[in-house]
Structure 1
Amino acid sequence: MPLPFLTADRTFDAVAESALPYDDPDRWRRPYRPGPWRVGVAALVLLFASLVLFGAVLTALTGSLSTGGVVLGVGVAIVAVALRLLRMGVWVSGRGLRRTGFLVTRTVPWPRVVSVRTVQQPVRWLGLPRTVQGQALALVLGDRPAEDTPPLLTTHGLDFVGRPMAFDRAADAVEAWAAENRHA
């Protein structure tokens, strides 16, 4: 029995072998896969959203429609939170580098980027205040000191904790995008 999700996985790894795997350089893309922690948290949030949406249907059928509508709105907001969790990360294109956070998205055009490099430094573990020693992908901008710019990726973030090889591939991909597009 063919399992298409396994062939897609192998195709992704085969495409990732080349330095810059892209067809359209102006399309925004994440040069790595979301990590298991990020996907797991989003799945749990979606599971909670399904319970809230089911509650909205029950409330609408047994109670008032306005209360059911409010619960439906809360459920839709929870789904939006889960989708935003999955969109968070670093995105690249021929136009620049985009860091998508939960509430804020910042785009830096390639001409402003001086360098992108991997450094050894204390990093936050899973985004919490606790720091551990790890690697970070640092972005150096021409108009801002390096200390003022938070790291793009870390080995202990939601996408790479426990996956050092995935961090290395993602850092190499972002560095390759920067090297190719910074001087263009």
Structure 2
Amino acid sequence: MPLAFLTADRDLDDQAVEAAPLPHSGPDRWRRPYRPGPGRVGTAAVFLLLASFVLLSAVIIAAAGALPAAGICVAVAVVVIALSTRFLRVGVWVSAHGLRQVELLRTTTLPWNEVAAVRTVQRPVRWLGLPRTVQGQALVVDRKRGGSLRTLVTDRNGDFLARPEAFERAADVLEAWAAEHHHR
């Protein structure tokens, strides 16, 4: 018997996909229309584990009497915790207000009235965000006033690597959000 609640890759049945949203998750709330990939979750977990070891070392250093060094360890642990939780939030978020692209150190929000189109294109994409490029699919947003937003998601990034059906589902959901709010 599979334990579906233990994995983010479980198959979503038609009823779960078409179910009405919960009362607390209205259209004004920012939400990510896809699950973070296992690579993203695993990397964040490793960095949180590292932060716990740094905090443990801070306790040992403080017990030894070197409070300034313990304070530095606590500060390093806080930075690692903040970066790992921010790393989990990286991705595309949507609401009735617009489309938000969250990156590690910056966030770009584009209201729906400034979005001309959201579409999937075939082109060279970065593999896991590294400089190496491979042929793949990318979801791009065209602005009404010039240019495109940076590539939103690709089928080769940390959330969709080796999960093409998850990329297709996320692209369809993002395109549907754009189509729904484009006519308002």
**TM-score > 0.5, shorter chain as reference:** yes
- Pairing of 1:87-102 with structure 2 (within 5 A): 87-102=89-104
| Counterpart position of 1:86 | 88
TM-score (norm 2): 0.89
**Is the partner of 2:18 in helix, strand or coil?**
coil
**Is the partner of 1:17 in helix, strand or coil?**
helix
Q: Decide whether aligned partners of structure 1 residues 153 and 20 sit closer, same or farther in structure 2, where only a CA change above 3 A counts.
A: farther
- Kept in 2: contact 1:20–1:177 (CA 8 A): no
CA distance in 2, matches of 1:130, 1:100: 22
- Pairing of 1:50-129 with structure 2 (within 5 A): 50-129=52-131
Q: 2:136 aligns with which of 117, 127, 134?
A: 134
Unaligned segments of structure 1, at least 5 residues: none
CA distance in 2, matches of 1:134, 1:19: 31
Give the CA deviation at 1:83.
0.2
Count residues in correspondence: 182
Give the CA deviation at 1:64.
1.6
TM-score (norm 1): 0.89
Equivalent residue letter for 1:37: G
Structure 1 moving runs of 4+ over 2 Å: 3-23
| Counterpart position of 2:159 | 159
Q: CA RMSD in A?
A: 2.6
Q: Decide whether aligned partners of structure 1 residues 83 and 15 sit closer, same or farther in structure 2, where only a CA change above 3 A counts.
A: farther
Give the CA deviation at 1:20.
8.5
**Is the partner of 2:108 in helix, strand or coil?**
strand
Equivalent residue letter for 2:70: G
- Kept in 1: contact 2:118–2:139 (CA 8 A): yes
Percent sequence identity is: 56
| Counterpart position of 2:35 | 33
Q: Does 1:43 align with 2:49?
A: no
Give the CA deviation at 1:50.
1.1
With 81-90 and 21-30 compared, the bigger mean Cα shift is at 21-30
CA distance in 2, matches of 1:5, 1:72: 34
Give the CA deviation at 1:89.
0.3
CA distance in 2, matches of 1:119, 1:182: 20
Unaligned segments of structure 2, at least 5 residues: none
Give the CA deviation at 1:122.
0.4
